[in-house]
Amino acid sequence: GNSVTQMEGPVTLSEEAFLTINCTYTATGYPSLFWYVQYPGEGLQLLLKATKADDKGSNKGFEATYRKETTSFHLEKGSVQVSDSAVYFCALRTSQGGSEKLVFGKGTKLTVNP
C-alpha cells in the first residue's frame, strides 16, 4: 500500500540554521507529493507541492524536489526563523477515482530557538 516515512523528531535548531526534514514514500503509480505545516493550535496548511518527477515545490523559503529514483521529497530551508516552529507533515496522493485522500507521514516537530 501507499505510505510515507518521515524522519522522527523533534528537531531543534538555532535561528538561521539550515533545515532538512527527510521524507520517503512508497506508492503505486505516480503520486503527487506535498508538505503541510501545522502551527500550534491550528489546522494544517499546505506549504508546497510537486506533481511529477523532478518538480521542485517552493514557498516561504522552503523547497522540496520530487525524486522518483530515490522515492524522496525532502524539505529544506536555508535559514530558519523562530516563526518556523511547527509540525511538518509530508503527504502523498495517488489518483484513485478522483478521491482527495492523502496519506500522511507522522509529522516532524521543529523548534527554532532565537
Q: Which is nearer to other proteins, 74 or 93 (CB)?
A: 93
**Least distance between other proteins and beta carbon 114 (Å):** 27
Cell numbers given for 10: 523533534
Cell numbers given for 37: 505545516
45 binds other proteins, rule: CB under 8 A? yes
Give the CA count within 13 Å in the CB-facing half-sphere of 99.
Answer: 9
Binding residue for other proteins, selected from 43, 69, 70, 114, defined by CB under 8 A: 43
**At residue 101, what are phi and psi to the nearest 5 degrees?**
-60, 130
100 binds other proteins, rule: CB under 8 A? yes
Binding residue for other proteins, selected from 49, 74, 77, 86, defined by CB under 8 A: 49
* CA-closest candidate to residue 77, choices 24, 31, 25, 11: 11
Beta bridge partners of 90: 35
**Least distance between other proteins and beta carbon 91 (Å):** 8
**Least distance between other proteins and beta carbon 105 (Å):** 7
Question: Can you tell me the distance from the alpha carbon of 71 to that of 61, in angstroms, rounded to the nearest whole number?
Answer: 23
Which residues lie near other proteins (CB under 8 A)? 32, 34, 36, 41-46, 49, 89, 91, 93, 95-107
